Every structure is written in structure tokens, then in C-alpha cells.
Amino acid sequence: MLGIRFMKVPPSTYVLHYKNGKIKREGAGLSFFYYSATSSIVALPAASADVPFVFHELTSDYQEVTIQGQLTFRVTDPKRLAGLLNFTVDAGGKFICDDPDVLKQRLVQATQILTRTFTQRAPLRQVLTSSDAIVPEVLAGLRASESVAMLGVEILGLGIVSIKPTPEMARALEAEAREALQGRADEAIYARRNAAVEQERRIKESELNTEIAVEEKRRQIRETQMAAEIAVEKQRVTLIDQRIENDRKEAESRAHALEATLKPVRDMDWRTLMAVSAGAADPGVLMSMAFHELAQNAQKIGELNITPDLLRALLPRKKEE
């Protein structure tokens, strides 16, 4: 019949069939016939949906950043959402107005407002590295927002893809970071050189300490040798003193013995001693002594006769060949 339509939706779509201003049927994944002249079909997506967003915000130091991310939500109260926005579809299943896009815009705006609250209290450098801090704060704000709750949707997730400064600021930050990295590289080179110098100093110091230790050992050896030599010299001095003392005692002993030997003959006439000592001596010696005695008493001699035989006896005899 003319005006009779058939509607079939997947399980991820929630359908409200209005007839004469009243809900005739509702549910997800329905299929039914309806009369288009008196019916209105409202189809709301029950599955989760992703809404990408990109917006520009200012930081606390008045620098512009571009925040790009994605919001995930799903419809939890189709009737409430259908009462706020028009999700009516035509006979071909297409929305008759742009209200489904308005829902996404409202969610993006709520996300931007909460993100702005964060960026306006943080400087540029902190914002550029604070995606992990922005996500939980904004997500908690969306879930607690009354404007989001009244739409009948649930926020499932939020992700920040990138946070970028302006191209000019990006170049400035890159130059600053590059200089900082170059400075750290120079510091690393300087530290490495200092470490090499320090290591060389330690090696030299170790070598000097080794030389000092060797010289100290040599000095100890020399001192030990000198002490040994001094001890030997002291013993030698003691030995010499002892020898001198022994020689002195021996000389005293010989002198005492000689004194004892000469004491009996000390007062005797020398001629007597000669006669006694020459008792068994050569007759020539005896004759010489006699002539010596005659010479000393020559004034008392009147006449002295010496025979040739006596003179011949006094002359030394030739050795027989």
C-alpha cells in the first residue's frame, strides 16, 4: 500500500517509533512496518562513537598551542537524548537534520572548556609535556559535567594525540633544545677530558708514590747497612781496645819478668857479668876484654910485652879453601 514502509535497524541502533505523538515501539535492532504518513522514526546510535577534535588554546605565558585528540562516548538514555536533539530519519534511514552532529559539537566544546582550564594555569613547556595529566583531569570533568549527563550519554574515554606550539615557537624551542643538547654534549666532552686528566694524574701520583716507596726501601736498606757497618766498627774498636789492653798486659808481664830477671845482677860489675856470660865463649872475646881492661888502666902499666903468637891469635883466621 502507498505510504507503508519497512524499517530494519542493526543491534547497535536504538529505534523509537512515534505514531500520532506517542511511542508505539522502541528498542535496539528492531524490524517492523509502519505507515509513514502518521509515523516518525527516531534512530539513535547505541554503539560507542569516536569524535576527533582539534582546538587552539593559550597557556599561562600567553603562548598558543594546538591540541589534537579523540573522545569516545555512547548513548545510555536514548529517550532523554531524543527529547533534546532531533534524530529523526527519513524513509531511506538518513537523518533529516544536523542535530546528530550537534551532539558531537557539544561534547567537543565541553572537552575544550575543561582543557582550557588546565592550559591557562600552566606555562607552555609544561603544557607540551602534560598530555598524561590533561587526560585524567578532563575525563573526570566530562563524567561529572551536568551538561554531558543531561544529554543521556556516557563518556568512555579520552585521548590526546598531540600538543603542538606555533611553528615560530616550535623553531625557537627546537633551537633552544638544540643548544641545550650541544651544551650537554660539550659538558660531556669536558667531563670526559677531566676524567682522562684525573686518571692520568692518578697514574702519575701512583708512579710517584711507587718511586717514593722504592726510595724509602732503599733508604731503609742503606740505613740497615750503615747500622750493620757501625756495629761492626764498634766491635772492631772493642777488639782493638781489647788487643791493646792485652798487649799492654803482655808488655807489663814481660817487663815484670825482665825486672825480676835483672834484679839479682843489677848491682854487679859489668866485667863480672861479661866474664860469667862468656864462660864458654870464644877465647878471642876474652882476650879483647883483657886488652880493653889494659887500655883503661894504661897509666898504671909500666911495661907490656905482647908476643907474636898472641897477636896471631887475636887476628881472624882465614877460611880454608
pLDDT beyond 90 at 105: yes
pLDDT band for position 4 (cuts 50, 70, 90): confident
Spatial CA neighbour of 141 closest among 232, 209, 71, 61:
71
pLDDT beyond 70 at 102: yes
Q: What stretch of H or E contains 107?
A: helix 99-119
Least confident of 195-209, 232-246, 256-270: 256-270
Contact residues for 68 (Cβ-Cβ < 8 A; gap 6+): 52, 53, 54, 160, 161, 162, 163, 164
Distance CA 241, CA 247 (A): 10
pLDDT beyond 70 at 72: yes
Contact residues for 150 (Cβ-Cβ < 8 A; gap 6+): 80, 84
User: For domain 48-165, which architecture applies?
Assistant: 2-Layer Sandwich (3.30)
pLDDT at residue number 321:
41
Q: Per the structure block, which three cell numbers stand in for 93?
A: 534511514
pLDDT at residue number 275:
58
pTM above 0.75, yes or no: no
Mean pLDDT of 214-243: 90
- CB neighbour burial string for 213-231, b if at least 16 within 10 angstroms, e if fewer: eeeeeeeeeeeeeeeeeee
pLDDT beyond 80 at 80: yes
Least confident of 178-192, 202-216, 297-311: 297-311
How many other CB atoms are found less than 10 A from the CB of residue 80?
15
Distance CA 216, CA 222 (A): 10
Spatial CA neighbour of 86 closest among 74, 75, 96, 71:
96
For residue range 270-299, list pLDDT tens digits in order.
566 665 665 545 666 666 767 777 777 777
pLDDT at residue number 318:
55
pLDDT at residue number 54:
94
For the chain, give the mean pLDDT: 84
Q: Residue ranges of the domains in the chain?
A: 1-44, 48-165
Beta bridge partners of 159: 70
pLDDT beyond 60 at 320: no
Mean pLDDT of 123-145: 91
Distance CA 86, CA 67 (A): 30
C-alpha dist (Å) from residue 132 to 12, 29, 57, 159 = 32, 38, 17, 9
pLDDT beyond 80 at 240: yes
Mean pLDDT of 2-13: 84
Tell which wins on pLDDT, 21 or 168: 168
